Structure 1
Amino acid sequence: MPLSIRRATLADAEALSAIAIATYTETWGDSYPPQDLHDFLQAHYSTVPQQQELADPRSAIWLLHEGDAVVGYLAAGANTLPHADAAEGDIELKRLYVSARHQGSGHGARLMDTFMAWLDHPQRRRLWVGVWEDNLGAQRFYARYGCRKAGEYDFIVGASRDREFILCRP
């Protein structure tokens, strides 16, 4: 069955929460103490924060579907990354995740291409992305879209601090 992409609506908050928690846990679940991970996921990816994000007119989220099941997503919105050059109107790619069993088939690039078409219409906007310093695959992926390292910051999950690179596409 071919996978389809569509823009998320407020009615998708529960499905978005489920895929956000599942893919974050699948990707980073072994990186943090269980209680820190649980608290982080509830604070950022449970249904209520997803409803708030979906209701924000500055946000845009796309879902990757396999039939009725959501198997990936891309979330973007107003930039919150700490950088001196950041300006009002800049957009941050906040999250791009595809379930492990659907990776390696170009679905992340399909989500990114859909997002980039939205980002640059009607005019090109500056893009910011935070990426873990050791996630070389993601850094190469975003470089293909014109993103270059512009800074660093700490990404905090409980007592853990991960060094993140701030990437920017002017």
Structure 2
Amino acid sequence: MPDDRRAIAGAGQAIGRGACAGAREGCGQGVTATIRRAVPDDVAVLVELGTSTFVETFGHLYSAADLQAFLGESHSPDAYAKTLANPDYALWIAERDGNAIGYAQAGPCGLPHADVRHGDGELKRLYLRQSEQNGGVGRALMDAAMQWLERDGPRPLWISVWSENHGAQRFYARHGFEFAGEYEFPVGEQRDREFMFRRLPRDA
């Protein structure tokens, strides 16, 4: 898997909770971070980052049992190792001063929507530490994932977002995504209302 490391100065869930966990109104702009493609040796980093950002952002919504069940399934070392080994998926880690501060994950769309077609892509996760919100990192991760998803040309892209994460919804709307439907997202025994957003190719 190529390294694909580059420095970006705030340009311009299946497998996990909807995208933009820990990301609010703009996902920020203006501060340089290093965005690199994740590799198999990053499993431990991704487990810590995915677990801590999910708990930081959503942990208060769930019982301890539901939270542990979800984290054990979706943010386990085995889950990340399998994703990293699958060439249809890609993950990126954002770092500053050698510390992991956020990550993104993209791959084939797995959302339960009647209009999803083979070949559609999905931004599956966009996670940031709360201390890094509004600093440009979310936008940089988003750009890296979108470029990879459209590496073979434009195609329909999808994102799912928790219904109460209004800041993330505004962020994606500014990137051309439009509301397309909703479904129930399981976290242990709890079911959350999740919104699906889609961006069609400009010539569609």
State the TM bucket, normalised to the shorter chain: over 0.9
Structure 1 stretches of at least 4 aligned residues deviating more than 3 Å after TM superposition: none
- Post-superposition Cα deviations, 1:71-116, rounded to whole Å, max 9, x if no partner, equal 1000111111001111111111111011011111111011111112
The amino acid across from 2:42 in the alignment is: D
Q: Is the 8 A contact 2:32 2:136 kept in 1?
A: no
- Does the alignment pair 1:148 with 2:178? yes
1:144 Cα offset (Å): 1.2
Question: Matches of 1:166 and 1:120 in 2, distance apart?
Answer: 19
1:162 Cα offset (Å): 0.7
TM-score, L = length of structure 2: 0.80
Q: SS at the partner of 1:58?
A: coil
Tell me what 1:92 maps to: 122
The amino acid across from 1:10 in the alignment is: P
Give the counterpart of 2:139 among 109, 112, 118: 109
Give the counterpart of 2:102 among 66, 72, 96: 72
Give the counterpart of 1:59 among 89, 111, 114: 89
- Post-superposition Cα deviations, 1:5-46, rounded to whole Å, max 9, x if no partner, equal 101111111111110001001000101001110111011101
Question: Matches of 2:183 and 2:141 in 1, distance apart?
Answer: 26
Identity %: 44
The amino acid across from 1:102 in the alignment is: E
Q: What residue ranges of structure 2 are gaps of 5+ in the alignment?
A: 1-30
More helix by share: 1
- Does the alignment pair 1:29 with 2:53? no
Question: Matches of 1:46 and 1:68 in 2, distance apart?
Answer: 23
1:3 Cα offset (Å): 2.1
Q: Kindly tell me the number of residue pairs found equivalent between the two proteins.
A: 170
Question: Matches of 2:32 and 2:182 in 1, distance apart?
Answer: 38
Question: Matches of 1:91 and 1:120 in 2, distance apart?
Answer: 8
Question: Matches of 1:129 and 1:151 in 2, distance apart?
Answer: 11
Higher relative contact order (CA 8 A, sep 6+): 2
1:122 Cα offset (Å): 2.8
Tell me what 2:190 maps to: 160
Q: Which moved more, 1:72-81 or 1:114-123?
A: 114-123
Q: SS at the partner of 1:23?
A: helix
1:68 Cα offset (Å): 2.5
Tell me what 1:132 maps to: 162
Question: Matches of 1:144 and 1:120 in 2, distance apart?
Answer: 18
Give the counterpart of 1:40 among 53, 70, 73: 70
1:2 Cα offset (Å): 4.5
- Post-superposition Cα deviations, 1:42-78, rounded to whole Å, max 9, x if no partner, equal 1110111000111111101110012322110001111
CA RMSD after TM alignment: 1.2
Question: Matches of 1:14 and 1:125 in 2, distance apart?
Answer: 32
